[in-house]
Amino acid sequence: MAVARAAADMVSTPDEAQKLEVIRLGHPILRQVADPVPEEYFGSSRLHDLFRNMARTMGEEEGVGLAAPQVAEALRLFVYRIPGDGEMAAVEPTLLANPEIRAIGSEAEEGWEGCLSIPGLRGLVPRHKRIKVRARSLEGQSVSFTADSFQARVIQHEFDHLEGVVYLDRMTSPSSLAFEKEWERYILRADE
């Protein structure tokens, strides 16, 4: 998932990692259901390398989330980070593999999203406000936590990529779609 430029200054990237090519809408992998991460991948140098490379790519592309299908790896994993501000606690780049999510309660909220595979656009997308997340870590440990608001939105957006779904599919109406520059000029500034 992509955010406004202001959030991108807090990125730190590992040095040996490589920047990967992010595939764009129209590439068939983005519309496939991804395969579970095989057991033997956990803790392997292959998964560590993929994580480092995806984390670097996410940072350099100024994103807050990147799913493996976006770098043409049809695996059920994604990386995400929360830059953190006065209200939100920061989350360093984190890998979640074979995730499961479910809504807590019925509350939904609309928020602006962008996607590194759909560059240059922003749109309003309704998401569950609170979710329960269960997943495996880089080393294969089971993790389970509750996410809300922006973090819940990022995780739902990235999870969708594992199902071949993009945020455009989730929009209530295409009428909010805006190019990034116009969005920053007419919508973001109007909100400040």
Rounded to a whole number of angstroms, the minimum distance from the CB of residue 167 to Ni ion is 6
State the catalytic residue, choosing from 158, 163, 182, 184. Answer: 158
Rounded to a whole number of angstroms, the minimum distance from the CB of residue 44 to Ni ion is 26
CA nearest 96: which of 60, 122, 132?
Answer: 132
Which residue, 64 or 133, is less far from Ni ion as judged by CB? Answer: 64
Using the contact rule CB under 5 A, the part of the chain among 36-44, 47-55, 113-121, 147-155 near Ni ion is: 113-121
CB contact at 8 A, 80 and 93: yes
CB contact at 8 A, 55 and 14: yes
Using the contact rule CB under 5 A, the part of the chain among 13-21, 42-50, 115-123, 177-185 near Ni ion is: 115-123
Rounded to a whole number of angstroms, the minimum distance from the CB of residue 117 to Ni ion is 6
Among positions 165-184, residues that touch Ni ion (CB under 5 A) are none
Rounded to a whole number of angstroms, the minimum distance from the CB of residue 157 to Ni ion is 6
Using the contact rule CB under 5 A, the part of the chain among 13-21, 79-87, 89-97, 111-119 near Ni ion is: 111-119
Based on the residue annotation, tell me whether 158 is a catalytic residue of this protein.
yes
CB contact at 8 A, 158 and 65: yes
Q: Which of 115, 131, 135, 152 binds Ni ion (CB under 5 A)?
A: 115
> How many of the chain's residues bind Ni ion (CB under 5 A)?
1
| Catalytic sites, residue numbers | 158
Interacting residues with Ni ion (CB under 5 A): 115
